[in-house]
Amino acid sequence: MSLALICGQGRLPRLVAGAQDTRPLVCVLAGFEPDGLSADLTFHLETLGSLLADLTARGVTDVCLCGAIRRPPIDPARLDAATAPLVPRLQQALTSGDDGALRIVMTIFEEAGFRIAAAHQLLADLLPAAGVLTLKSYAPQTVLEARVGDRTVAAMGVRDTGQACVVRGDIVIAREDAAGTDAMLARLARDRNAGGGDLLSNPISTAGDMFGGLLGDASDWLSGGATPTEGGILFKAPKPGQDRRADLPVIGADTPDAVAAAGLAGIVIEANGVMVLDRARTVARCDDLGLFLWVRDKASP
């Protein structure tokens, strides 16, 4: 196997590269450079066709899409002849949800003769086994919160809109959007620090969450009680039917601090569906902050 990493931002590309016996070819989408990993090739979306030809000429057989990117607009002035035939599908990808977009991009690579390797296949310990990884375990009410989170992310996934939410009691107080998990948690932390209360401090986003709950998770709102301003969970899971060769949800060593700042009690992730970067550091930071990290088997109660 001759491997190329098609890289975006974050630590994941460096970790995957470091786990290989032979350094893979590192191909970076311009403007989305990974942390701590230098590029062998830098490409633009408008030159994807030329990248495919270059990889073939170099004898690459497998590619791994890893790291975070946003959707860059296509600049017609930069478009090369090799990429022009791909433009209709690239435009479709740019207007699709994340999973839909990745399926289109992976199909383009497969049609060019490359196999798609998943990051967790190249770095096996990215997916921890089910169980509680931290010194602190979850409270009985977390089981209910996890069920609500599971239903919520499943409903979001049908619309291809996100892979994470925040649940307190039986109420969903935040849903991940295109800005990502860190931005969702940062908004909650700002609300908490402002002392305005999670449900009232941001009426626009709160209304969106309530509307989404009524559409996909109406049962979350049956209690009618006030939402506590402390406790609750960050819940992350893949979308239903997601192609798991790319864009599995991720937590890492920075996640516990964001969770604690948002006033949450812990993190619940789906077993075999969420990658944990720098696992030892992530668990240790949860322990330092008094958080729990539960890797939940989807078959759990």
Q: Where are the domains of the chain?
A: 3-122, 127-296
Please tell me the pTM assigned to this model: 0.82
CATH T-level topology, domain 127-296? Cytidine Deaminase; domain 2 (3.40.140)
Instruction: Show Cβ contacts of residue 205 under 8 Å, excluding neighbours closer than 6 positions.
Output: 174, 187
Q: Which of 29, 40, 33 is nearest to 71 (CA)?
A: 29
CA atoms 171, 173, 177, 180: torsion sign: negative
Between vectors from CA 290 to CA 289 and to CA 294, what angle results, nearest 5°?
A: 110
Residues of the chain with pLDDT under 70: 97, 99, 196-229, 301
Element (H, E) at 268: strand 266-270
Query: For position 122, what pLDDT does the model report?
Result: 95
Query: For position 228, what pLDDT does the model report?
Result: 52
CATH label, 3-122, candidates 3.30.2270.10, 1.10.4190.10, 3.40.50.20, 3.20.20.450: 3.40.50.20
Instruction: Show Cβ contacts of residue 32 under 8 Å, excluding neighbours closer than 6 positions.
Output: 7, 8, 9, 67, 68, 69, 70
Residues making up the chain, counted from first to last: 301
Query: For position 247, what pLDDT does the model report?
Result: 81
Judging by DSSP bridges, how do beta strands 266-270 and 292-296 pair with one another?
Answer: parallel
* Strand runs labelled E in the chain: 3-7, 25-29, 41-43, 62-66, 115-116, 131-132, 164-168, 171-175, 233-236, 250-251, 266-270, 275-276, 292-296
Query: For position 275, what pLDDT does the model report?
Result: 96
Query: For position 94, what pLDDT does the model report?
Result: 78
Q: Which amino acid is at 5?
A: L
Query: For position 93, what pLDDT does the model report?
Result: 83
| DSSP β-bridge partners for residue 296 | 270
